[in-house]
Amino acid sequence: MSDDQRRISVDLSGQVALVTGASRGIGREIALGLGKCGAAVACVARSQGKLDEVVAEIKAAGGEAGGFVCDVADSEAVQKVFDAVVEAQERVDIVVNNAGITRDGLIPRMTDEDWDQVIATNLRSVFLLTRAATQVMMRQKTGRIINISSVSGLVGNPGQSNYSASKAGIIGFTQTVAREMASRKRKITVNAICPGFIATEMTDALGPALEDEVKKRIPAQRLGQAYEIADAVLYLASDSASYITGQVITLDGGLTA
């Protein structure tokens, strides 16, 4: 069964979505999924090459998309992207904060730079994008903010104190902003998704032997697929999820059960 056949079907026609970290892995699948469901997708990433490929793929499938090169930890750069999207589309309905990096190392040897880079890219970016998004969505009185956290933010992972801290921070941030945005006058939801081990370029770096060991820890005995995370995003972006907010949805094959 192909990925397209397995993808859930939601109608996002007329909506505008913005996805960070859209050039590869989970972010790429999310951007493609949103485009296939009818949303105009603003794809954001740090490098131009693969970003152009994602935009071209969405357009080739009949969708609408644009690419924005941006350091998502840079406040001014983030605001410029939002301003450009709103100027072109007059709204932003869905924001997916997916950008993330790792700089692994045990805490005694972790450098200031490794800590700061991960916190800035993984957590500060979520604050910046969400702040810009809520300003637009409050005027619209509607919107969906979906933050990609990680099971590492739930249980921790040795060698990833910076990454785990950033992803745990996303969870607390999500729940707080969800409460701030909840109102009978607004239809703005804010939720987080915690993927487990997902088959991407990052997990490819594990190598076959380590990957086999990881699979043994997962009750489902397999890695997740990026489109499975994208499917969860599509559901949370849909009208069917209008009463879901402040939630942390874990997709990990039972790893943290």
Residue 126 lies in a domain: yes
- What's the pTM value of the predicted model, to 2 decimals? 0.95
- 147 in a domain, yes or no? yes
Determine, yes or no, domain membership for 4: no
User: Which tokens is 36 given?
Assistant: 């296939």
Number of domains comprising the chain = 1
Phi, psi dihedrals of residue 250, rounded to the nearest 5°: -100, 130
Which of 163, 227, 235, 243 is labelled catalytic?
Answer: 163
Instruction: Specify if 2 maps to a domain.
Output: no
Catalytic status, residue 163 = yes
Would you say residue 29 lies in a domain?
yes
Print the domain residue range for 45: 13-250
β-pair partners for 17: 41, 94
The stretch 112-121 carries a mean pLDDT of 98
What number of residues does the chain have?
257
Alpha helices in the chain (DSSP H): 3-6, 25-36, 48-60, 75-89, 112-119, 125-140, 152-155, 161-181, 201-204, 208-217, 226-237
- Is 255 part of any domain? no
Q: What mean pLDDT is reported for the chain?
A: 94
CATH number of the domain where residue 205 is located: 3.40.50.720
What's residue 66's pLDDT?
98
| 112 pLDDT tier (thresholds 50, 70, 90) | very high
Say if 73 falls within a structural domain.
yes
Token code pair at residue 65: 């998309």
